Amino acid sequence: MLPLDAGAISVEGGMGWRIENEIFVHAIVTLMSLSLIIVARMQNKTKRILDALLISSCLLRVASARAQTMAEPSEGQPRETSSPETTRSTPATGMAVHAPILAPQPPMLVAASVASAPPGPASVTSKFSATIYGFVEADFIRDSTQSFNDLAGNATIAKSGSFAAEHDRMIFGQRNSRLGFKLKGPESEMIKSSGIAEMDFLGNQPQGSPSPAGSPAVSESAYFASPTFRIRHMALKLETPIVDVLAGQYWELFGWQTIYHPNSVQIQGLPGQVFSRAPQLRLSHLFKSDAVNVEVAVAAVRPPQRDSGLPDGQAGLRLILNDWKGMRTAGGAGTSVDPLSVGVSAVARRFRLPEFANVPVHTQTINGYGVSIDGILPVVPATATNWDNALTLTASYVRGQSIADLFTGLTGGVSLTPLPADSTGKTSSFAMDIDNGLVIFDNGGQMHAIRWQSVLLGLQYYLPTSPFRMWVSGNYSHLSSSDIKNIVIDNTGSNVKGKIFDKSDFADGNLFVDATQTIRFGLEYAWFRQTYLDGVKSPNHRVQFSGFYIF
């Protein structure tokens, strides 16, 4: 608590208010006098006496205030000034709030030995700040088949010749709209703290998707018009000169996401694109110089199978050339100027399942791994104020086994099915405690890891339309599995050649126009094709128009 002025009451808080005793007393006397007059008038008694008391009190207050304003403060004391404004930040939001500073009043009597009055209470400034960001997105989609929802990902395409493959689908939605908060805490020269909380509306509905995919199905109205709010990112970060610590749900280190993500109107991840977030604990350090930066990082990440007993281990190395920069848009809304860089990352994981038997006794263990090489190349450089004719190339190559969960909705059509009842009619107790698409059992009951590899190339060209921003982009990806055809269970049931694909190709073209600094429109044509194990090739054609309000 700061020292109080003589004869004054100091109220400390966010505003730093001060109240003078004498003015306070006069105000109380005046209010009391008014109350007595009202009562007296109601009773019609002693009117003149009470009126005189009121007049005396008012005169006394005016005379006292005049005496204070006429008195000059002694040398060294603060003079009364007009009430300026100070800006402070609220602890919750960091938004500026203007509050008046009440100038300290000189005391009525000052001892000769006192050179100056103690300073008034200082204004309180918040040590926290928050930035609100995100975008509102409206999507209008037409597919040539009845295969996908608004988020296509790597879902299976209706097989050619089927009813769903011969009929189209129209989707209106806004589920990819996003709301985020970037939080910044108190910091020193050695330590900085921050946090991120980001949500969208692509959360899991009770049954996952509308009819006929859901079982039981959620209605289309509920799925698209009342989507589920979900966590995208929820993480804290501590930065020190030695190591940076990130804890919580965030982009996975594998693939150095989202530094190398491509540009598209449709909701990502695209076919063949590594696109994943997970709870994690990450340690990293950026070695800086004028020309080149080098970043190294390691992370323990949520395992895809909790019963494996071990977290995923991920590590990455990235080389950055600071003076060679280009314009790049990740997804549909994240435009930035990024330097040339190359990243290498890897993941190691373990799976442990019961043996494939009606009454399991032992377990089978298999390891998964993945390697990703990614790069961004500004072919024609750009700056934040000059992006005319900027041309930027992004590229990713991924190879590994049991890594399907790092792609969006990738299974290849493979599923783990329960064993049938034995000859006595006893139901199998085999527990399928793992997501589909990671491993599979062959006819002999041996567990196999499913291998995938992908190549994704993207190109973005920014037209010379300054000050308006307009650009075109295109992407191509090829995804394939080298061994899925050799480990199908049999020719009946769910894991059959006619239901599993081992190749996927994708290409698209996009046109973006920034109508204002906050309004963006995008138009995309996308071509999908999957090749099933029986040789049938199933395509889908998508046209999508989207509007974004970016804040």
The CATH number linked to 293 is: 2.40.160.10
> CA neighbours within 13 Å on the CB side: how many for 451?
10
Identify residue 156 by its one-letter amino acid code.
T
> Same domain, yes or no, for 175 and 273?
yes
**pLDDT 10s per residue in the chain (551 long)?**
333 333 333 333 333 333 344 444 455 445 555 554 554 444 454 444 445 444 545 544 544 444 444 444 443 333 333 333 333 333 333 333 333 333 333 333 333 333 344 444 443 335 789 999 999 999 999 999 999 999 999 999 999 999 999 999 999 999 999 999 999 988 888 899 999 999 999 988 765 566 565 555 678 888 899 899 999 999 999 999 999 999 999 999 999 999 999 999 999 999 999 999 999 999 999 999 999 999 999 999 999 999 999 999 999 999 999 999 999 999 999 899 999 999 999 999 999 988 887 777 888 899 999 999 999 999 999 998 899 999 999 999 999 999 999 999 999 988 877 676 666 767 666 667 888 889 988 777 788 899 999 999 999 999 998 888 999 999 999 999 998 888 765 555 566 778 899 999 999 999 999 999 999 999 999 999 999 998 999 999 999 999 999 99
What is the structure's pLDDT at 68?
Answer: 46
Record the pTM: 0.74
Tokens 């090749």 belong to residue: 531
Domain boundary among 69, 85, 107: 69
> Same domain, yes or no, for 64 and 134?
no
The β-bridge relationship of strands 178-184 and 169-173 is: unpaired
> Same domain, yes or no, for 47 and 134?
no
Residue 107 domain flag: no
Residue 79 domain flag: no
> Same domain, yes or no, for 362 and 264?
yes
> Same domain, yes or no, for 43 and 135?
no
> Same domain, yes or no, for 179 and 64?
no
Residue 383 domain flag: yes
> How large is the C-alpha radius of gyration of the chain?
34
What is the structure's pLDDT at 89?
Answer: 37
CA–CA separation, 500 vs 489, rounded Å?
11
Residue 77 domain flag: no
**Domain assignment of residue 242, given as a range:** 129-550
What is the structure's pLDDT at 32?
Answer: 53
> Same domain, yes or no, for 10 and 148?
no
Sign of the alpha-carbon dihedral angle for 23, 28, 29, 35: positive
Q: Answer whether 236's CB lies under 8 Å from 195's CB.
A: yes
Q: Answer whether 351's CB lies under 8 Å from 434's CB.
A: yes
What is the structure's pLDDT at 447?
Answer: 86
**Residue 21 DSSP class:** H
CA–CA separation, 80 vs 75, rounded Å?
13
> Same domain, yes or no, for 204 and 64?
no
Task: For helices 47-70 and 21-43, give the axis angle rounded to 10 degrees.
Answer: 160
Segment (H or E) for 282: strand 277-287
Q: Answer whether 114's CB lies under 8 Å from 103's CB.
A: no
Determine if the peptide bond prior to 493 is cis (ω within 30°): no
> Same domain, yes or no, for 470 and 392?
yes
Segment (H or E) for 478: strand 470-480
DSSP, residue by residue, 501-518: EEEEEEEEEEEEEESSSS
Burial of 341 (0-12, 13-18, 19+ CB in 10 A): buried
Residue 63, C-beta contacts closer than 8 angstroms, at least 6 positions apart? none
Ranges assigned E (strand) in 52-202: 85-89, 96-100, 129-143, 169-173, 178-184, 192-200
> Same domain, yes or no, for 49 and 187?
no
What is the structure's pLDDT at 116?
Answer: 40
CA–CA separation, 162 vs 451, rounded Å?
28
> Same domain, yes or no, for 539 and 394?
yes
Burial 91-113 (b: 16+ CB within 10 A, else e): eebbeeeebebeebbbbeebeee
SS3 at position 476: strand
Residue 179 domain flag: yes
Backbone angles phi, psi at 32, to 5 degrees: -65, -40
Residue 160 domain flag: yes
Residue 84 domain flag: no
Residue 93 domain flag: no
What is the structure's pLDDT at 91?
Answer: 35
Sign of the alpha-carbon dihedral angle for 67, 69, 71, 73: positive
Domain boundary among 22, 48, 69: 69
Tokens in use for 385?
A: 């104020």
Number of domains present in the structure of the chain? 2
> Same domain, yes or no, for 280 and 386?
yes
Domain boundary among 69, 101, 119: 69
